Amino acid sequence: MNSSTEEEVKNMGSRARRETLLADEKKAMKMQLLEFIKKHPAGIAPKKDKRVFVPLFFARRPLMRNVSYALAGFAVIVVMGGGVAAAANRAMPGDALYPVKLNVNEQVLSWMAASNESKARLHIALAKRRLEEIEKAAPSQSFNEEAASQAKVSFNRHVGAAEASIKAIGKERGSEISAELNAGFESVLRAHVKIMGNVIEKEKKRDEKKAEAVKDFQKNVADRIDSVARSRDEYQEKIFAYNSSNMQSYATQKRAEAQQRLKETAEFVIAKKENLSQDAHQSALGNIAVASNLIAQGQERMDAQEYRAAVRLFQKAINVSQEIQIGVLANEKLNINLESKELNELIERGEGLEINLKKLFK
Amino acid sequence: MQSQEPKPASEVQFLEAYDKHSDALFRYCYHRVFDREKAKDCVQEAFARTWRYLVDGNTIENIRAFLYRTANNIIIDASRKHKPSSLDTIMEKGFSPSIDPRGKTQDYLAGKELISIVRTLDEKYRDVIILKYIEDLSTKEISFILNETENNIYVRISRGLKKIKKILANQETQFNKNKKEHKKHE
């Protein structure tokens, strides 16, 4: 009766299975789970509390009393009673409750982050959230210079806090995590500077003042990139020094990481294909080729025993993969297509951009 | 239920379960709540509750099914609390069941459009179709997750497929109609 329909549904099922968590998301969520487990160790049954992890969207009732540990990254805890805090969490730049979101709800989140790594991830996520809010809110009526200024102050605060936490991690646990966090953060900032560029161009046609407000924010973000990139370089140098006797092994590890990220990114782009414009999809595929190219160049350096250069190329490939994912989400949500300098350069040089996605999944 | 993997008595095993099942659980939540951030919250809550269940001295024979069941309960609780998404809201998020009149004949049968069709089904059919054909779970596991008999699950899958077949047939008719009109205007 249903055999052909069932076949179609099975095919749909296999395509839908490509929707997954991004690597960074999975890592951040695992960090939160680890902290939760530490606060509720096995063998010691807690006394009375019934709920200890109550993200906003699944809260049964106003939430203050049952929250017992921090959420880093993407989840939000509502900490005041009633609908006010819930409404504040949904506020965007220009809304009346936006200051409550920035100065109350998120402030409590930062108090509750236990480890320096949680703090760093939380502040990076909140800084990223400011960027996304500005990009999304810019076309709305309520968005204005004051709203942009509030978001900018909050963004700078979170960047500063993230940098401080990353520095603390570097002292207590060595440079690898610090370098990783800085590199990821740098990719986020670079991608969003491009996204804002698109938003500015769109807004210029509608409202010059709004465009100027976003441009001012964009400049602020661009200024931050340099200091994050410098920190990343410093930590990377420390890692090189630490691994000096075993650089080949370190480079091999980095190559594996770059390949895995690229594979995840390719799967992500395939999963999102139907939601993207043709240009955005082509652009994402082109950038996958760029990342693949970087990995190939890194391999050449490894073959020549130039391990530091190889590691830098693999890291750049990881950054490009992350930017692709951000770009895909930006096109999906904001109908924006990111230009890539590296992709344009490749095209100008006439280099082939054929990528065999099947090779990536080998 | 038959034990399919080691019981996560320790933190290491529990975190292994996270590594193994978080993607699939996220996908399941995502196809239920249509929102990435909400889906992530759901996953976190499901794992947290599962850990709490273990810490309270309970044992779990099939952690995968347990996680899905916990996530399912979380989503049901939330949907009772919040207004369910209307089809308009779902379409705004890009899940549109409409057919592209420029006519990609094969495309409308696969991928996103078909997922959108499944999501417009009643919850009792949609959930079993998602669990069976996207999450690739057995009927026994689905019956545990949804707290229904296996017989009920079989019936729902069959009826769900019939409904999908009907929707596809209607859409094909509409698509052909649109195609004719489009040609007229060319």
Which residue matches tokens 């049952």?
Answer: A66
pLDDT tens per residue, range A6-53: 887 887 777 677 677 887 788 888 888 888 888 887 765 444 444 444
pLDDT higher for B94 or A140? A140
Q: Which two tokens stand for residue A137?
A: 């809110």
pLDDT, mean of residues A162-184: 85
pLDDT tens per residue, range A124-136: 888 988 998 899 8
Rounded Cα–Cα distance for residues B131 and A250 (Å): 41
Q: Which band of pLDDT confidence, cut at 50, 70 and 90, is reported for residue A82? A: very low
Rounded Cα–Cα distance for residues A135 and A211 (Å): 11
Q: A16 and B77 in contact by Cβ < 8 A?
A: no
- Other Cβ atoms closer than 10 A to A5: 20
Q: Which band of pLDDT confidence, cut at 50, 70 and 90, is reported for residue B3? A: very low
- Please check whether residue A99 is in contact with residue A151, taking contact to mean a CB–CB distance below 8 angstroms: no
Q: Which band of pLDDT confidence, cut at 50, 70 and 90, is reported for residue A101? A: confident
pLDDT at A266 over 80: yes
Would you call B112 an interface residue with chain A, using a CB distance cutoff of 8 Å? Answer: yes
Q: What percent of chain B has pLDDT over 90?
A: 24
Most confident of A102-106, A336-340, B98-102: A102-106
pLDDT at A62 over 90: no
Q: Which band of pLDDT confidence, cut at 50, 70 and 90, is reported for residue A219? A: very high
pLDDT at B66 over 90: yes
Most confident of A83-92, A190-199, A334-343, A348-357: A190-199
Report the chain A residue with the minimal C-alpha distance to residue B42.
Answer: A58
Q: Which two tokens stand for residue B89?
A: 């809201």
At A314 the pLDDT is: 94
pLDDT at B104 over 60: no
Would you call A34 an interface residue with chain B, using a CB distance cutoff of 8 Å? Answer: yes
ipTM associated with this complex: 0.71
pLDDT at B46 over 90: yes
Task: Report helix, strand or coil for A75.
Answer: coil
- Indicate the Cα dihedral angle B62, B65, B68, B72, nearest 10°: -120
Touching A: B residues 118-177, CB under 8 Å: 118, 129, 132-134, 136, 158, 161-162, 164-165, 168
At B81 the pLDDT is: 67
Q: Chain A to chain B, count of Cβ pairs less than 8 Å apart?
A: 146
Q: What percent of chain B has pLDDT over 70?
A: 75
Q: B78 and A58 in contact by Cβ < 8 A?
A: yes
- Indicate the Cα dihedral angle A226, A228, A233, A234, nearest 10°: 120
Amino acid at A181: L
Q: A58 and B129 in contact by Cβ < 8 A?
A: no
Rounded Cα–Cα distance for residues A288 and A268 (Å): 11
Q: A33 and B114 in contact by Cβ < 8 A?
A: no
Q: A12 and B49 in contact by Cβ < 8 A?
A: no
Q: B40 and A36 in contact by Cβ < 8 A?
A: no
- Please check whether residue B153 is in contact with residue A32, taking contact to mean a CB–CB distance below 8 angstroms: no
Residues of chain A in contact with residue B115, where contact means CB-CB under 8 angstroms, are 12, 15-16
Rounded Cα–Cα distance for residues A162 and A113 (Å): 12
User: Worst-scoring range by mean pLDDT, A281-290, A342-351, B112-121?
Assistant: A342-351
Q: A9 and B30 in contact by Cβ < 8 A?
A: no
pLDDT tens per residue, range A304-335: 999 999 999 999 999 999 889 888 888 877 77
At B185 the pLDDT is: 64
pLDDT higher for B112 or B8? B112
Provide the 8-state DSSP code for A55: B
pLDDT at A104 over 90: no
Would you call B55 an interface residue with chain A, using a CB distance cutoff of 8 Å? Answer: yes
Q: B129 and A9 in contact by Cβ < 8 A?
A: yes
At B73 the pLDDT is: 92
Rounded Cα–Cα distance for residues A192 and A36 (Å): 31
User: Worst-scoring range by mean pLDDT, B16-20, B58-62, B66-70, B156-160?
Assistant: B58-62
Query: Mutate which of A25, A30, A50, A57 to test chain B, going by most B C-beta atoms within 10 A?
Result: A57
Task: Please report the DSSP string for chain B in residue order.
Answer: ----S----SHHHHHHHHHHHHHHHHHHHHHHHS-HHHHHHHHHHHHHHHHHHHHTT---S-HHHHHHHHHHHHHHHHHHHSPPPPHHHHHHTT------TTT-TTGGGSHHHHHHHHHTS-HHHHHHHIIIIIS---HHHHHHHHT--HHHHHHHHHHHHHHHHHHHHHHHHHHHHHHHHHHHH-
pLDDT at B103 over 50: no
Would you call A141 an interface residue with chain B, using a CB distance cutoff of 8 Å? Answer: no
Residues of chain B in contact with residue A17, where contact means CB-CB under 8 angstroms, are 27, 134, 136
Touching B: A residues 273-302, CB under 8 Å: 273-275
Task: Please report the DSSP string for B107-134 in residue order.
Answer: GGGSHHHHHHHHHTS-HHHHHHHIIIII
Closest to B146 (Cα-Cα) out of B134, B159, B131: B131
